[in-house]
Structure 1
């Protein structure tokens, strides 16, 4: 059975990256829609101010999620004994198996 953490590690980074890409594309498309008359001034006022900030937040969350997936971790370790990631730096032997 797949744990919730494993599911999040698999789906969160690509999902956040896709959302950040959509928000970035929307930043470029909204002015074109305004010129074409599809979006009115109220739509621009509502979306135009929040979208760049949302894009930056999603991009930062995406980077953090990719880092979370790529960092070393032990499978099945719940923080009990024998789950330490450290080791003896002089011998190069890792503790916790």
Structure 2
């Protein structure tokens, strides 16, 4: 597993503060790997999900650090979403 993925899993779990996510989401970080988010929190993994979000390492870090709005990243093509848009919006709320 990459260091970026390991650090991201820790940061996501801290950011979520134990709040579960209703459904499954996969965050693909280009050239690094994937993170699964579900009712148990975040973990490294690459399984089927209700929604898959894909971004570069830089975009993902900016979203996680609160420097980049996920919706703005999507609208400018820095973040792609495949699957249930409602789940993507719910995830944005959990991470915000």
Q: Smaller-chain TM-score range? A: under 0.3
Larger Rg: 1
Q: TM-score, normalised by structure 2?
A: 0.24
Larger % of strand: which? 2
Larger % of helix: which? 1
Q: TM-score, normalised by structure 1?
A: 0.24
